Chains A and B, each alone.
Chain A
Amino acid sequence: MDSVELCGPAVPDFSTHPGLAAGVAVLQLAASRYLALSEQEKELNQRLRSLYPAVSDQETPLPRSWSPKDKFSYIGLSQNNLRVHYKGHGKTPKDAASVRATHSIPAACGVYYFEVKIISKGRDGYMGIGLSAQGVNMNRLPGWDKHSYGYHGDDGHSFCSSGTGQPYGPTFTTGDVIGCCVNLINNTCFYTKNGHSLGIAFTDLPPNLYPTVGLQTPGEVVDANFGQHPFVFDIEDYMREWRTKIQAQIDCFPIGEREGEWQAMIQKMVASYLVHHSYCATAEAFAKSTDQAVHEELASIKNRQKIQKLVLSGRMGEAIETTQQLYPSLLERNSDLLFMLKVRQFIEMVNGTDSEVRCLGGRSPKSQDSYPGSPRLFNSPVHKASNVITDHLCFPLFPGFDSNYCNGVSSSKGHTSAHSHKSCPPTIPSPEPGVLNGSRGQQTNVSAEVEMEVDHFSNGVSESSSNGFLNGSSTHGIDLEECDADMEVDSAQSKRQLCGGSQAAIERMIQFGRELQSMSEHLRRERGKNSANKKMLKDAFSLLAYSDPWNSPVGYQLDSIQREPVCSTLNSAILETHNLPKQPPLALAVGQAAQCLSLMARTGSGSCAFASVDDYLH
């Protein structure tokens, strides 16, 4: 574990702090993993991610090498289990030997591809390349048995679960690169030779097949490429065709037959969504023009809006206070929620944004403070590619989307996802609603790297902006003028200082940390262990293990985007007290679609690979 020196975290004068050790441990883990990752592995990871974005590596790992456990004894492996050689007698077909890959091909690949290079054809070149199910006899060449499929080099025949082959393609020998592509949408397979597609070899393939090679005579050596290197065949191009096909199918899917029904439903979803996220004025106007009733009082919507703004601007202390004022029993009854808010408050203190710290600190560098403008929003982890937003009507589909649903598969509690945000990018980002509405007019193609002058307060509350007026919050917004002066453009990261750089603030933060620690202990005593809470606290405290927390492995917590799940959880909790749904139907629908896709992946429907919900939430 010499990796600690490598990163050299400045150990803060904070020895009593329980989070420190944890922070170091996290760091060590990250660093050692980084070191172990060879260039080839990095390339492999990158290629697999880009080829099969819909595959969850935790749930269904992709094949990365041949399995040293799942092979016949006549097979030898070398070079990171990628090279296969024959070491039997090779006298009769009884001496045939195969090896399977470490994992079966996940359906969520949609289209899966691997290549095998013939290093040497050995004595007779009786090599078979193909697929087989778990448990198929390994003392055979692929294709000879049930649930086994192969293309053989000596005669160019394809073997479909049978001892007799069918004429299929050319023969192959030393120097040739043979590719095998499994289409999990129509359950077919085709091979390629030196980059040329040879046409369909098998149809009606069963699920969960493993890449397999078999050899039969001495001297035969083949190398696999599961993505370690660029493929000879242009598999991306083939995948593009299928993506287009699936998307055309979705686009052409017939919807509600009765006229107007579809439209009415969409209008209802939009209206409920606007109310949920407290876009009072917009919701009112929308309801009026589409002739719908709003099921929540305007004042209540505005209250929620106020709280949300505080959370999203990082002013957690005020947010908690306001919540306690407006909904007196809410946080009392829901101590886990309160704990989550307080942990966030701690993080905001480190960030220098929380109100308590701001008062002590005086100056608060803009870079730590402001909630970024909307273009940045949509460049959040999943959306790096597009920084030009042209169609603002599409925005409201994301916000407030509860992470329960993005991570539907792992089905963790809502608040834990705030911490898993970075390590496991959610399928759906949840930007902040107020920003969306308020800054519509300012959506320009500002790149994500530029810190914007647009500050969070102008979002939805600006006095001059007609959008702000629409949202009706300029009059009941918190008085914010005092802060405007501080909002300078300042992108220099070096200016970020712990708690805004004030010693008093740091002391307050440390004190708050202790309070939080005791609250945690109190909670544990009263309600038993809660691993999510424990992790949350640990992660937050780990920030202090670094001289520059923003650029540390746990620094993602300081990103303003992490306020969104907190905000959304709080909002949902408030709505629940009013007997309103904690999820807007729109988010529910999106969540269901995502859930449905993961269900498809589990049941072997490959088309889920090309139907990412993201693609439709521009």
Chain B
Amino acid sequence: VMRYDFVLSFVTMQEVTATSRHYVDRLFDPDPQNVLQGVIDMKNAVIGNNRQKANLIVLGAVPRLLYLLQQSSSSLELRTECAVVLGSLAMGTENNIKSLVDCHIIPALLQGLLCSDLIFIEACLRCLRTVFISPVTPVQLLYTDPTVIPHLMSLLSLSQHTQEYITQIFAHCCKTPEHQTVLFNHGAIQNIAPLLISPSYKVRMQALKCFSVLAYENAQVSMTLVNVLVDGEQLSQVFVRMMQRDKPIEMQLTAAKCLTYMCRAGAIRTDDNCIVLKTLPCLVRMCSKERLLEERVEGAETLAYLMEPDIELQRIASVTDHLVSMLADYFKYPSSVSAITDIKRLDHDLKHAHELRQAAFKLYASLGSNDEDIRKKITETENMMDRIVSGLSESSIKVRLAAVRCLHSLSRSVQQLRTSFHDHAVWKPLMKLLQNAPDEVLVMASSTLCNLLLEFSPSKEPILESGVIELLCSLTQSDSPALRVNGIWALMNMAFQADQKVKVEIVQALGTEQLFRLLSDPDTNVLMKTLGLLRNLLSTRPDMSSHGKQIMQAVTLILEGEHSIEVKEQTLCILANIADGNTAKELIMTNDDMLQKIKYYMGHSNVKLQLAATFCISNLIWNEEDGSQERQDKLREMGFVDILHKLTQASDPNLCDRAKKAMQQYLA
């Protein structure tokens, strides 16, 4: 039987190839009438027949068809039929598209659009559309010739078909801010807006999709969109109408995306009714079990994006239609039922399972980013912490990233850090994740780690024991400023009220050289956290014997440099901490230059700096310590008493109080 099958299929293959060759041969017939008939027959032969399509491509039909299409001597009918056949070939497999693109079909068809015949133009556009919406076609090909976009814009008025194809091409080929700008500059908004009320559903839908890709993270487009009127109605209202619950889901979802993007770009306020009462509920509906898996993914991602920066939207979403528990359902794919009943469904579920999980994590992350009650609600959702923990070690990078984002969002809660985070030992998978992950995951993971290292977090101890210091120090050497900040930040948190042993470990692992490099980091955040680390390291009567000089140098450098008030304040605080240590006091007292600087900051116009500098002096003249008398005398000579006296009259109560306390040291 097997043998028979084989022979049969072989013969069939032969026949197909033979007829295919015949079709191609007819394209070369000297009689143009025969060529036309040949193309028409070919058209009928390839419809729905992928093998026939592949054969014709292999046999070289494409270049010949393109030649006939471009020849001005060809009849319009022939050229049109050629475009139709090419469009049909493009409908096949991705390989077909690749072959067509390799034969330079795109410039040939774009050239064809200059013809004046509508039927021919429509055939070319239909084929171009099919080619451009394929993932294998480089979208850049649309933008190579700068005359193409304006010409396409001008063709929009011709017919519903040109409208449908062109908007579909735009919607698929607008992938970057540059693309958005090109389309915007060529009047995409004015040209496409009227199509939103086209009688054709397809045109309306594609026009809507255009606006969603144009507005995405684009303030210029979004700001323009809010002022556009379609048939006397504001565009946002047109979108609101498209979100009505009897409209097709695809339309509701895309309209909600448009409004979301306009809102995030700052063109619509987050408390606008069209966001609060329309877009948000619409997106929550898209997350419901009734929707298709793809729709639920898109709905959740869009909703997460919409409310990310706004606590009020987060609060509303958290009580809308049981969203928090609805999302728990995203983790139940593939369901046990689908595995048994239906292989196709299982396949479908598997394909979407990762997407669903990452979308749910993203949405949880967004929901819980500000409100403590919502975080509590999320962590109390069935198996939530277990899901995050297993999400952190999933194979899909997208899921891992989303899971760590979610964990990060929840880690902002003191209560959760103390309870669920500790109970589920989330630090373990987190540490594992930090060992080997791409930067974007590392940023999130290390940021989460910062929170887990806060002094009240019960996870701090086990993390310290797991040898995290090396890892954090290596992060401070990263090229990414975000990673450097997180690394040094985590070290700073770690050093807060830590044992001397831990502090020594940090200093040794980081190395003074790296510490100084960080003090001159171009990123202010890095500098601030490094100063914070120094301050924490020096907080408990520091022993300055080893690095004293370098630290003093660094402090001088920063105080002399062009830095923000915050940086200088932090530096003065370090100085005050130094002034609190026994050996360290000498370092300052012998450094007249430094004393002059402190004096200067005591008279600074910024209260914070005055306070920090006064702190510093107060530590130096503190009575109960050895040599306090000498220091008091020296500082009196330098005129500090007068300054302190003046500061006791300061309007700021803290400063006034601090100065009085310092003066008491002299009086005692």
Q: Give the distance to chain A from B133, nearest Cβ to Cβ, in Å.
A: 29
Stretch at the interface among B197-205, B319-327, B359-367, B382-390: B319-327
Contact residues of A: prevailing secondary structure: mixed
B246 with A241: CB separation less than 8 A: yes
Answer whether residue B49 sits at the interface, using C-beta atoms and an 8 A cutoff: no
Assess the A243–B321 pair: CB atoms within 8 A. no
- A198 near B246: Cβ-Cβ < 8 Å: no
Partner of A238, one of B245, B316, B322, B326: B245
Report B-chain residues with C-beta under 8 Å of the C-beta of A170. Answer: 319
Of A101-109, A189-197, A412-420, A586-594, the one with at least 4 CB within 8 A of chain B: A189-197
A163 within 8 A of B: no
Q: Is the CB of B277 within 8 A of A243?
A: no
Give chain A's interface residue range (CB within 8 Å of chain B).
10 to 19
Of all chain B residues, the one with the shortest Cβ separation from A237 is B245
Within 8 A of B (CB), among A554-581: none
With A195-B277, A197-B281, A234-B277 known as contacts, the answer to whether A169 contacts B319 (CB < 8 A) is: yes
Cβ–Cβ < 8 Å partners of B319 in chain A: 169-170, 193, 196, 198
CB pair A197–B246 under 8 Å, yes or no, is no
Contact string against A for B residues 314-334, beta-carbon threshold 8 Å, 1 for contact and 0 otherwise: 001001111000100000000
> Known: A169-B319, A170-B319. Contact between A196 and B281, CB under 8 A?
yes
**Residues of the B chain whose Cβ atoms lie less than 8 Å from the Cβ of A195:** 277
Residues of chain B within 8 A of A241, CB atoms compared: 245-246
Contacting residue for A237 out of B244, B316, B321, B322, CB 8 A: B244
Rounded to whole angstroms, the CA-CA distance of A200 and B320 in the bound complex is 10
Partner of A199, one of B245, B277, B322: B322
Q: Which residues of B contact A198 (CB under 8 A)?
A: 319-322
Find B245's partner among A169, A193, A200, A240 (CB 8 Å cutoff): A240
**Nearest CB of A to B330, in Å:** 16
Q: Take A193-B319, A198-B319, A198-B321 as given contacts and tell me if A240 and B244 are in contact as well, using a CB distance cutoff of 8 Å.
A: yes
Question: CA of A234 to CA of B322 in the docked complex: distance in angstroms?
Answer: 18
A244 at the interface (CB under 8 A from B): yes
Contacts of B281 in A (CB 8 A): 196-197
**For residue A198, which residue of chain B has the nearest CB?**
B319
Contact among A197, A234, A240, A244 for B321, CB-based, below 8 A: A197
Cβ of B246 and Cβ of A199 under 8 Å apart? no
Whether B244 lies near A199 (C-beta < 8 A) is no
B246, A240: Cβ atoms under 8 Å?
A: yes
Q: How far is the CB of B283 from chain A (nearest CB, A)?
A: 13
In the complex, given contacts A197-B281, A199-B326, what are 9 additional A-B residue pairs having Cβ atoms less than 8 angstroms apart?
Answer: A170-B319, A196-B277, A196-B320, A199-B321, A199-B322, A237-B244, A238-B245, A240-B246, A244-B245
30 A-B pairs with C-beta separation under 8 A: A169-B319, A170-B319, A193-B319, A195-B277, A196-B277, A196-B281, A196-B316, A196-B319, A196-B320, A197-B281, A197-B321, A198-B319, A198-B320, A198-B322, A199-B320, A199-B321, A199-B322, A199-B326, A200-B322, A237-B244, A237-B245, A238-B245, A240-B244, A240-B245, A240-B246, A241-B245, A241-B246, A243-B246, A244-B245, A244-B246
A200 nearest in chain B by CB position: B322
Least CB distance, B590 to chain A, in whole angstroms: 64
Please report whether the interface of chain B is mostly helix, strand, loop or mixed according to DSSP.
loop
As a 0/1 sequence over residues 258 to 290 of chain B, the CB contacts with chain A under 8 angstroms (1 = contact) are: 000000000000000000010001000000000
Which A residues lie within 8 Å of B321 (CB)? 197-199
CA A339 to CA B320, docked complex, whole Å: 64
Give the residues in chain A near B244, CB-CB below 8 Å. 237, 240
**Least CB distance, B217 to chain A, in whole angstroms:** 27
A190 — nearest CB in chain B belongs to which residue? B321
Q: Which of A197, A198, A243 has the most CB of B within 10 A?
A: A197
Q: How far is the CA of A170 from the CA of B322 in the complex (A)?
A: 11
Cα separation A170 to B281 with both chains bound (whole Å): 16
With both beta carbons as reference points, the residue of chain B lying nearest to A168 in the complex is identified as B322
How far does the alpha carbon of A88 sit from the alpha carbon of B321 in the complex, in Å? 35
Chain B, residues 222-244, CB within 8 Å of chain A (1/0): the string is 00000000000000000000001
> Which residues in A have their C-beta under 8 angstroms from that of B245?
237-238, 240-241, 244
Chain B's nearest CB lies how many Å from the CB of A155? 14
Bound complex: CA of A506 vs CA of B203, how far in Å? Answer: 63
User: A244 CA to B321 CA in the complex, in Å?
Assistant: 21
Residues of A168-188 whose CB lies within 8 A of B: 169-170
Taking CB as reference atom, which chain A residue is nearest B245?
A: A241
**Cα A234 to Cα B279 with chains together (Å):** 13
> Counting chain B CB atoms within 10 Å of each CB, which of A195, A198, A200, A237 scores highest?
A237
Expressed in whole angstroms, the Cα–Cα distance for A240 and B281 within the complex equals: 15
When A and B form their complex, which 6 residue pairs have the shortest distance between CB atoms, in order from nearest? Answer: A241-B245, A199-B322, A240-B246, A199-B321, A244-B246, A170-B319
How far apart sit A138 and B326, CA to CA, in the bound complex (Å)? 35
Residue of B nearest to A244 (CB): B246
Q: How far is the CA of A237 from the CA of B243 in the complex (A)?
A: 10
Cβ distance B398 to chain A, nearest Cβ, rounded Å: 28
Residue picked from B244, B277, B319, B326, most chain A C-beta under 10 Å: B319
B 357-386 to A, binary, CB cutoff 8 A, 1 in contact else 0: 000000000000000000000000000000
Give the nearest-CB partner of B318 in chain A: A170
Q: B320 contacts which chain A residues (CB < 8 A)?
A: 196-199
A436-468: which have CB < 8 Å to B?
none
Report the minimal beta-carbon distance from B79 to chain A, rounded to whole angstroms: 38
Report the minimal beta-carbon distance from B598 to chain A, rounded to whole angstroms: 54
Query: Which chain B residues border A237 with CB–CB below 8 Å?
Result: 244-245
| Closest Cβ neighbor of A238 among chain B residues | B245
Chain B 323-356 residues near chain A, CB threshold 8 A = 326
Measured CA separation A348–B315 after assembly (Å): 68
CB distance from B4 to the nearest CB of A (A): 38
Closest chain B residue to A197, Cβ basis: B321
Instruction: List chain B residues, Cβ under 8 A from A240.
Output: 244-246
Please indicate the chain A residues that have their CB under 8 angstroms from the CB of B246 in the complex: 240-241, 243-244
Whole-angstrom CA separation of A193 from B317 in the bound complex = 12
* Chain B, residue nearest A195 (CB): B277
Chain B residues with Cβ below 8 Å from A199 are 320-322, 326
Complex CA–CA separation, A243 to B246 (angstroms): 8
For B282, the closest partner residue in chain A by CB is A237
B518 → chain A closest CB, angstroms: 46
In the bound complex, CA of A294 to CA of B245 (Å): 48
Distance, CA A476 to CA B301, complexed state (A) = 74
Q: Which residues from chain A contact B316 at a C-beta distance below 8 Å?
A: 196
**Whole-angstrom distance between the Cβ of A391 and the nearest chain B Cβ:** 17
**Most B-side CB within 10 Å, residue of A196, A198, A200, A238:** A196
Q: How far is the CB of B611 from chain A (nearest CB, A)?
A: 43
Min Cβ gap A610→B in Å is 11
Query: Closest residue to A234 on the B side, CB-wise?
Result: B277
A240–B244 Cα distance when bound, in Å, is 8
What's the Cα separation between A208 and B246 when bound, in Å?
A: 28
State how many angstroms separate the Cβ of B325 from the closest Cβ of chain A.
9
Smallest distance from the beta carbon of B329 to chain A beta carbons, Å? 13
Q: How far is the CA of A196 from the CA of B319 in the complex (A)?
A: 8
A 229-241 to B, binary, CB cutoff 8 A, 1 in contact else 0: 0000010011011
A320 shortest CB reach to chain B, Å: 51
Q: Looking at the assembled complex, report how far the CB atom of B251 sits from the nearest CB atom of chain A, in whole angstroms.
A: 13
What is the minimal beta-carbon distance from A50 to any residue of chain B, in angstroms? 16
Interchain CA distance A74-B321 in the complex, whole Å: 34
**Alpha-carbon distance A169/B323, docked complex (angstroms):** 11
- Chain B residues contacting A243 (CB-CB under 8 Å) are 246
Q: Which residue of A lies closest to B248 (CB)?
A: A244
A243 CA to B245 CA, complexed, in Å: 10
Bound Cα distance A169, B320 (Å)? 9
- Tell me the bound Cα distance from A244 to B247 in angstroms: 9
Q: Which of A170, A199, A243 has the most CB of B within 10 A?
A: A199
**In the bound complex, CA of A170 to CA of B316 (Å):** 10
Interface residues of B in 587-644 (CB under 8 A from A): none
Which residues 219-274 in A have Cβ within 8 Å of B in the complex?
234, 237-238, 240-241, 243-244
Chain B residue nearest to A240 in the complex (CB): B246
Docked CA distance A305–B498 (Å): 105
Chain A residues with Cβ under 8 A from B322's Cβ?
A: 198-200
